[in-house]
Amino acid sequence: MQLAVRYSVVIGVLLWSIVHKATAQWYEVTYRPSGVRYQVLQHGPFEVIFQEGRLLEAQRLAVLLEMHYDSVRAQVGVQRAFRVPVILNDYRDRGNGWVSPLPYRQEIDAARLRGLTLAPTARSWLDAVGPHELVHAAHAEINAGMGIGGLLRWIGPDWSRLLNLSTPPGFAEGIAVHYESQFEGGAGRLHFPFFAMEFRAAMASRQPWRLAQLLEAPAYTWPFDRHYKGGGHLYAYLQENGHADFFGRSARWFHRMPLTGFGVAFWYGTRTFPATLGRQFRERTRAQLQAELKARGPFTAVEIIRSAPGLILRRPYWLDARTLVVYAQGYRTRPGYYQIDVETGQMVRLRAFTATEDYRYALVPDRKALLVARYVPDVLLSGRLTAEVYRLALDGHIEQLTRGGRVYAPVPAPDGSIWALQNVGSHNQWVRIKPDGRVEPLLAFDAVFFLQLAPSPTGDRVAVLLHQQGRQGLFEARIGAGGRFLLRPWLAFRQGAIYDVSWSEDGRWLLFTADPDSVPNLYALEIATGRVLRLTNVPFGALEPTLSPDGRWLAFIHYQHERYELVRIPFAPEGALEVPSAWLEPFALVDARLEGTVSPHLASEIRPYRSWRYLMRPRLAYPIFALAQKDAEGYGRGLGWGGGLGLAGTDPLKRWAYQVQGFYRQDRLWGDFWLAYGGLPFRPGLYLYDLPSTALVRRPDGSLWRVGRERRGAALVANLPVLFESNVYNSWALLTLLGRYEYERLFAHTQPRSPALLTDTRWMLEPIVTLSFRLQQNWRDLMPNQGMSWTTRALWDLKRSRLPVRQAYMSRLYLYVPWFAWANVSLRLDVGLLWQNRGGIYTLTTFLPRGEEDAYLERGLFGRAGLLSTMPLWFVDNGLVLLPIYLEALYLYGFAETLQPLRGPSSEPMFSLGGGIGVQSRLFSYVRVDLRWGAAYRVREGRWQTVWR
């Protein structure tokens, strides 16, 4: 789940630091692909807003959510009934689900999430994601009455929901994972061996996860979904050890008094000091794991081919008797396909390339190319992700085979064509990719999800791994008369599931991963006899087996803490244990049309989606309050007291967003209005304003005098993002054009209705262009390790009535050098130009060399150059629960910068160099802070200056 949580907003609300200008836009628009239309299905407390063509999934989702509604409320502790919009999208091939408080809604992708994230015991994707997200929606609705949260709910319910969802992510995910794991039939991720695998390995390691690591999302440490695993197991532990009510108690305390921090709320909820609770959990879990591992030993001895912390290797295939190809990514490894020498472990990159989350690809028969798949984003950055298939030659040459296909998991078919799987809503179908790139459906069943196609080397059959209604196993497909597939049940376990399938070179053995005893291990099916043999016994998990061409070695992925390592063992079926027949139970496909049967009256409740229905009622109403300004400098008092009201709103799809503010100050009414629309590629926004401030002016006698200033005008902005490349390397452009008309009036601020001291009008244009070319950043890089970024902007006063026109141009070019990428050390070179016809047009803090921020640049042309390097010292990824701070990384940085006047009034060049230490951290779980302390040597003056950037 992705929570759209911005805790800084909460802090701002709690302190009522609302000022009399639109410094914060509470709602932003979402840019969905053009041509995507939505309809609305009203069912009980749920308003399902679904993309056209997904009516069946919308109906099933509505019934499913209604079925879980009461039990979710009871689990979370929500007394009152609540209503929530639920958006069902079908323009992304990578599935996801999340809850957002701004505005309050659930949002779910129809496409199923693949790989090892979704438990196979879930009946379907909607069964897995719908109730999970409903728990988060209920969590957002907690109302403890008196307190800060109760006050916020009167002002705007979304603010109260934002506060509730601002707890550490592991706290929120823990209850959702636990709830989904209470379903009948053992569904849910707490019963999923691959979900527990990474948790068990971490808790059995030398440095088991501490309490803060269980609750907080990691920034630099694998697994990056640690808070799901840690939060889920911590919640289960507390439920089983006398803390059944801890969630409700903690959530209600935090709702009432968030400024005490979540640690105090958690202490109150569990009735145990957090450090004590964390130690008890670690000791209990570690003792249980050690006893379990001792009872399950001895373990299979493996020969490690390649392993390193944070190195994730997946899907090995043999190219020859000595070489494997894998998909790899890691802390210091660019994602892509690599060759690995099994004797030396040396890795050679074939091509940097992204992959779908199941990492399914295949070798062509001659072993000279791979059939691979990845998600291709929309050119206009609309959020659309389309799965496409490519042919990747071993020399690195790539050829895209489909466009708009929504296909993945490709394999070479026996007839020389290519088979793949294609998304169709929340399910998929078996398809053929034609030479011209078109996709031809071959086989589909209602409520069946194909996971993998594995044609036999002999070409007489296909091993089909599929999922239906909580069962996952193998089927055998043969081609019958007329090209029709004859599908029959082949192999499945009574408990547990089968995941990966591969054939031996001679077609005698079918190798696969399964978890009938709750630990993923490798198995083999002997085709001639039907015997099923267990090949490994590993402590945490083994997956993705592949047999060498000569049949001597079995290579596979072996999980150890913080790494998926590549290992091999001798293939010795004669010494393997045969699986008892009682463990096996193939299943037949059922008529899944009965699943999720819905009432006929649901169809009559459907209406087109209309944004205006939701915009008439604001979502937030907030007070505006400003203190009187004192005469601190002796130039006269500033503005007096001010107060008013602000309103903000949007629709659930976030097509429109607006904000209007009005306040009374200095004996008159002021205000502004902001409006944005997300239905056009160039993303327009409109801002109207009439706002007061003060300014210092010089009298004829030379003294300074504080006067009032009124600025009234209109601004129109348009942004056009364009994506050129997004495949490990990223190239994109953002084009922005801002036009403004402004009337400015100076007046005696104690008498704003008196005649103006000075008036001026201007028409202004400000274009901004940002270009990025082949930027790349590995998991533990603090800056990109390769690529180029260029930003240029200009400001032109096209016309001005009285004051001199302003004209300025500023450009910065950053070049990232990969010389030390192997150590996550980043190196950035930059050059810049500034031209201005007078001083003070742009804020130049970051343009000036470090240590010279107090310098003032008059008119003229200036050039700058700089070098910045960052070197990580420690990826902490740990924090404190009682104090709301989480440390991500500690690093050193060094710099050298210079600024040279090129044309204009004479001024001295500036040069500084130095370095310091930086720390990346999070406050209150969501406010990211990068603090730096350093010293700059100002060469011109020969002295050191403390710097904070």
Residue 141 per-residue DSSP state: T
All residues at 6 or more sequence positions from 747 whose CB lies less than 8 Å from its CB, including other chains: 707, 708, 709, 710, 754, 755, 756, 757
pLDDT given at position 280: 97
Question: How many whole angstroms separate alpha carbon 516 and alpha carbon 125?
Answer: 22
pLDDT given at position 563: 97
Nearest partner of 794 among 810, 814, 813, judged by Cα:
810
pLDDT given at position 2: 43
DSSP 276-302: HHHHHHHHHHHHHHHHHHHHHPSPPP-
Question: How many whole angstroms separate alpha carbon 876 and alpha carbon 553?
Answer: 39
**Lowest-pLDDT range of 18-22, 48-52, 258-262, 626-630:** 18-22
Phi, psi of 598 (to 5 degrees): -120, 160
**Given the structure tokens 């011209």, which residue do they identify?**
436
Question: How many whole angstroms separate alpha carbon 461 and alpha carbon 430?
Answer: 15
pLDDT at 557 over 70: yes
Confidence of residue 21 (pLDDT cuts 50, 70, 90): very low
8 Å CB contact between 255 and 143 = yes
DSSP 671-721: EEEEEEE-SSTT-EEEEEEEEEEEEEEE-TTS-EEEEEEEEEEEEEEEEEE
Average pLDDT of the residues in 536-564: 97
8 Å CB contact between 535 and 522 = yes
8 Å CB contact between 603 and 42 = no
pLDDT given at position 753: 66
pLDDT at 441 over 60: yes
pLDDT given at position 867: 97
pLDDT at 805 over 50: yes
| Token reading at 890 | 């500690």
8 Å CB contact between 494 and 585 = yes
8 Å CB contact between 297 and 304 = no
pLDDT given at position 703: 80
pLDDT digits (tens, 9 = 90+) for 357-381: 999 999 999 999 999 999 999 998 7
Of all residues in the chain, the percent with pLDDT exceeding 90 is 80
pLDDT at 482 over 90: no
Q: Cα dihedral angle (657, 663, 669, 670), rounded to 10 degrees?
A: -50
How many other C-beta atoms are found inside a 10 Å radius of the C-beta of residue 846? 10
pLDDT at 594 over 70: no
| Token reading at 217 | 């999302």
pLDDT given at position 707: 86
Q: Cα dihedral angle (596, 597, 601, 607), rounded to 10 degrees?
A: 40
**Lowest-pLDDT range of 63-77, 451-465, 692-706, 896-910:** 692-706
pLDDT at 602 over 60: no
Confidence of residue 22 (pLDDT cuts 50, 70, 90): very low
DSSP 340-385: EETTT--EEEEEE----TT---EE-TTSSEEEEEEEEE-TT--S-E
How far is C-alpha 711 from the geometric centre of its chain's CA atoms?
40
Helix, strand, or coil (residue 211): helix
8 Å CB contact between 123 and 595 = yes
pLDDT given at position 905: 78
Q: Is 757 left (phi over 0), alpha (psi -120 to 50) or beta?
A: alpha
Tell me which of 404 and 594 has the higher pLDDT: 404
Confidence of residue 750 (pLDDT cuts 50, 70, 90): low
Question: How many whole angstroms separate alpha carbon 171 and alpha carbon 836?
Answer: 52
Confidence of residue 8 (pLDDT cuts 50, 70, 90): very low
Q: Cα dihedral angle (386, 391, 397, 402), rounded to 10 degrees?
A: -40
Instruction: Tell me the pLDDT of the chain averaged across its residues.
Output: 92
Confidence of residue 173 (pLDDT cuts 50, 70, 90): very high
Residue 8 per-residue DSSP state: H
Phi, psi of 702 (to 5 degrees): 95, -10
Directed axis angle between helix 148-155 and helix 246-256, to 10°?
70
Phi, psi of 55 (to 5 degrees): -65, -45
Q: What is the pTM of this model?
A: 0.93
| Token reading at 241 | 């050890």
pLDDT given at position 18: 37
The dihedral built from the CA positions of residue 102, 671, 763 and 639, taken in this order, carries a sign that is negative
Residue 103 preceded by cis peptide, ω within 30: yes
**Given the structure tokens 């934002």, which residue do they identify?**
162
Nearest partner of 3 among 169, 222, 214, 153, judged by Cα:
169
Helix, strand, or coil (residue 740): strand
pLDDT at 598 over 60: no
Confidence of residue 751 (pLDDT cuts 50, 70, 90): low
All residues at 6 or more sequence positions from 407 whose CB lies less than 8 Å from its CB, including other chains: 373, 387, 388, 389, 420, 421, 422, 423, 431, 433, 439
Average pLDDT of the residues in 16-26: 46
DSSP 409-454: EEEE-TTSSEEEEEEETTEEEEEEE-TTS-EEEEE--TT-EEEEEE
The most distant pair of C-alpha atoms in the chain lies apart, rounded to whole Å, by 107
Q: How many CA atoms are closer than 13 Å to the CA of 779, on its beta-carbon side?
A: 19
| Token reading at 513 | 């991963």
pLDDT given at position 499: 95
All residues at 6 or more sequence positions from 603 whose CB lies less than 8 Å from its CB, including other chains: 55, 59
Burial 630-642 (b: 16+ CB within 10 A, else e): eeeeeebebbeeb
3-state SS string for 461-491: CEEEEEEECCEEEEEEEEECHHHCEEEEEEE
How far is C-alpha 137 from the geometric centre of its chain's CA atoms?
19
pLDDT digits (tens, 9 = 90+) for 223-279: 999 999 999 999 999 999 999 999 999 999 999 999 888 999 999 999 999 999 999
